[in-house]
């Protein structure tokens, strides 16, 4: 029983203590009536009711919450100063005025708000004098009319807002008296008019509200002077005028705090006719020059264009507006596409050739070639085999073919108004080895080296394109007359560029690397007709590549290019025709030729670049294939002598739809030891 009473008393004691704490806490939060204040005073405790600032030279600091249903702070003093800190608030839930400066002969030297001033109708009402009004916090009228009302014969000398001034209707600021200077670097907003100045005088308005946030400052009736504040190319003032009074105008200028760039700042003023801007529509700002101009006659929309000398800034335009600059990137991409196409055409031609000849001879366009049946070559392979570097049985040696193909390329791609013409001089050689694995399957490997010099326009721009490829190829007989061929390859790309830029007449050099992967599948039908071998074929080529980023040599207009992804797709139908050897007294002639129709459906490649002296502005363009369709014609003749010497002569031309041509010529030699 004693233990039970002990616990009961303990519980009662805890409950009583808890209730007492709650009561103390509740009563401690009661707001007491606000007393009138004067002199140097800090209000650090919450209070509620209307009160006044009295006396002369009162310096009041508010760091608490003062609130009331119908609260009004009335200035009854002279040269009063009110500072509301970030922790301070003046709040009226049902009052018409929060701060009233309406007593005759009384004035505010300073109202500085870093906290919150919130009322229902007129938050600050000035009918006398406020020398300095500064807002870094929030001034809001919750039910409309005006957050700041300046009326009668009142004056606000310096009004600075870097916070928020708002009203749901009416005006954020309603001026029917005089505001000497209003500087807005924050937000002034209302569903009505941000600033109403229709019945008042505003001598100077400085403004940065607008572009940053897409929220132009809406002003009813002109200020005498308007100065735009420019913080950056994406953060600057925009002014929308409403109810412009006939015969009034504003003088435009740039505020001294602005940071300029050589740029066109769009829509800096809207709703203003030409005659409503003062006569000075041009001027200087430090080393810059500026021009205010209407976007088009009668548009009432004005742009600000800032220019300067090279020492001040560079007036950059898109480098792709320069025909040589566009041709440089176009030439790189289409040069790589053409190389891939030439490589797979060469290898497919080799596979077709070994099927159509009686022996495994080298194909057309010979630079260096050997027949696996030659005794000397057999001995070389045996020597290699004896050193264990090549493990082939003697019966297979006659099934090995060595081949090469080389050519000199001459071409021209026509230019247009946006891209310069391109003249192409190149040489390439491909060497390979293939093995007749059985009657139905050929396996081969090829190594290619291609060098193209592409001359851009006539000003000295050019591209040196060097591509080394390695490929495997496979020919599979489906029947005695039908074959399917495969090519798989990799290419290493090196590009050197010299870009002549017409804007400064300087040539900029650059180096970049890249790589490519490609594959091809072909279907062939072989038909023998008397002395002719006829080979209709179809082919699909697919490739992917990447050019790495690179930066041109240092200079005012040097460019940095981002990496580029290349997606290639080409399809073709064609016919290869071979006339079997025509025997003469000392020579044998074997003519053959190819026609091919192709369609290029490669994806466009996105090019992104920027000037090295301005890495914030990016320029983009898309490079499409040089032509969507092409027609190829190739004529070749093998001239063989009885002493095992063979000369091959060929001409290969590709005509691209509306984009010029590419042609190859060559003379080759073969001698069987």
Q: Express each pLDDT in 262-317 by its tens digit.
A: 888 999 999 999 889 988 899 999 888 899 999 999 999 999 999 875 455 655 78
Residue 104 has pLDDT above 80, yes or no: yes
**What would the pLDDT profile of 654-670 be if each residue is shown by its tens digit?**
887 766 777 877 765 55
pLDDT in tens, 436-478: 888 789 999 999 999 999 998 888 899 999 999 999 999 999 9
Query: Per-residue pLDDT for 258 more than 70?
Result: yes
Q: Where would I find the H helices in 461-511?
A: none
Angstrom distance (rounded) from CA 174 to CA 502: 55
Among 71-75, 127-131, 248-252, which range has the highest average pLDDT?
127-131
Q: Which pLDDT band, with edges at 50, 70 and 90, does 81 fall under? A: very high
Helix or strand holding residue 292 (H, E): strand 288-294
pLDDT at 457: 85
Per the prediction, the chain carries an average pLDDT of 84
Residue 194 pLDDT greater than 80, yes or no: yes
pLDDT at 314: 58
> CB-side exposure of 499: number of CA atoms within 13 Å?
34
- Sign of torsion over alpha carbons 412, 416, 418, 420: positive
Q: What predicted TM-score, i.e. pTM, was given to this entire model?
A: 0.52
pLDDT per residue as tens digits for the range 602-647: 888 999 999 887 777 889 998 887 667 889 999 988 887 766 566 7
Query: What's the rounded Cα separation, in Å, for the pair 424 and 534?
Result: 33
CA distances to 28, 37, 41 from 51, in Å:
22, 8, 14
């Amino acid at each position: 029983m004693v233990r039970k009473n002990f616990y009961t008393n303990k519980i009662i004691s805890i409950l009583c203590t808890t209730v007492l704490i709650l009561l103390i806490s509740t009563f401690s939060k009661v707001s007491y009536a606000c007393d009138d204040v004067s002199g140097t005073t800090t209000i650090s405790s919450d209070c509620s009711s209307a009160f006044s600032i009295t006396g002369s030279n009162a310096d009041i600091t508010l760091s608490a919450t003062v609130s009331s249903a119908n609260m009004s702070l009335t200035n009854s003093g002279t040269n009063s100063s009110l500072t509301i800190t970030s922790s301070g608030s003046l709040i009226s839930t049902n009052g018409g005025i929060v701060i009233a400066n309406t007593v005759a002969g009384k004035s505010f030297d300073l109202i500085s708000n870093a906290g919150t001033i919130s009322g229902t109708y007129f938050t600050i009402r000035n009918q006398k004098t406020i020398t300095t009004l500064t807002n870094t916090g929030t001034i809001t009228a919750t039910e409309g009319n005006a957050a700041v009302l300046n009326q009668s014969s009142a004056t606000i000398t310096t009004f600075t807002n870097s916070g928020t001034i708002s009203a749901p209707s009416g005006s954020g600021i309603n001026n029917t008296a005089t505001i000497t200077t209003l500087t807005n670097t924050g937000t002034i907003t209302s569903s009505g008019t941000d600033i109403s100045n229709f019945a008042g005088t505003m001598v100077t308005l400085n403004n940065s509200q607008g572009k940053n946030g897409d929220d132009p400052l809406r002003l009813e009736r002109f200020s005498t002077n308007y100065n735009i504040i420019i913080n950056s190319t994406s953060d600057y003032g925009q002014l929308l005028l409403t109810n412009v009074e006939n015969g009034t105008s504003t003088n435009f200028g740039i505020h001294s705090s602005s940071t300029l760039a050589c740029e066109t700042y769009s829509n800096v003023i809207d709703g203003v006719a030409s005659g409503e801007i003062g006569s000075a529509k041009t001027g200087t700002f430090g080393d810059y020059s500026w021009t205010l101009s209407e976007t088009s006659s009668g548009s009432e929309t004005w742009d600000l264009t800032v220019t300067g000398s090279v020492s001040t800034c560079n007036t950059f335009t898109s480098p792709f507006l320069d025909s040589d600059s566009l041709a440089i990137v176009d030439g790189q991409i289409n040069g790589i596409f053409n190389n891939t196409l030439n490589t797979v055409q060469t290898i497919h031609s080799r596979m077709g050739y070994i099927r159509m000849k009686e022996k495994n001879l080298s194909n057309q366009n010979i630079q260096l070639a050997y027949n696996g049946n030659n005794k000397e070559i057999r001995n070389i392979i045996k020597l290699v085999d004896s050193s264990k570097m090549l493990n082939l049985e003697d019966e297979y040696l006659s099934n090995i073919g060595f081949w090469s193909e080389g050519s000199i390329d001459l071409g021209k791609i026509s230019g247009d108004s946006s891209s310069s013409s391109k003249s192409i001089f190149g040489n390439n050689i491909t060497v390979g080895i293939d093995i007749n694995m059985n009657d139905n399957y050929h396996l081969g490997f090829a190594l290619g080296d291609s060098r193209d010099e592409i001359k851009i326009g006539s000003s000295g721009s050019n591209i040196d394109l060097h591509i080394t490829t390695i490929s495997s190829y496979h020919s599979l007989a489906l029947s005695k007359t039908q074959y399917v061929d495969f090519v798989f390859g990799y290419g290493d790309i090196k590009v050197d560029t010299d870009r002549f830029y017409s804007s400064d007449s300087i040539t900029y050099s650059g180096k970049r690397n890249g790589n490519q992967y490609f594959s091809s599948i072909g279907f062939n039908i072989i038909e023998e007709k008397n002395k002719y071998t006829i080979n209709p074929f179809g082919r699909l080529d697919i490739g992917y590549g990447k050019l790495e980023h690179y930066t041109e040599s240092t200079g005012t207009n040097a460019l940095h290019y981002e990496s580029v992804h290349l997606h290639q797709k080409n399809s073709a139908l064609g016919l290869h025709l071979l006339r079997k050897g025509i025997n003469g007294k000392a020579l044998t002639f074997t003519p053959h030729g190819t026609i091919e129709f192709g369609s290029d459906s490669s994806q466009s490649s996105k090019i992104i670049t920027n000037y090295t002296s301005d890495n914030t502005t990016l320029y983009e363009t898309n490079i499409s294939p040089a032509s969507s369709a092409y027609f190829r014609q190739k004529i070749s003749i093998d001239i063989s002598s009885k002493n095992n010497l063979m000369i091959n002569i060929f001409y290969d031309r590709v005509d691209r739809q509306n984009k010029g041509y590419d042609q190859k010529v060559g003379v080759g030699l073969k001698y069987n030891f």
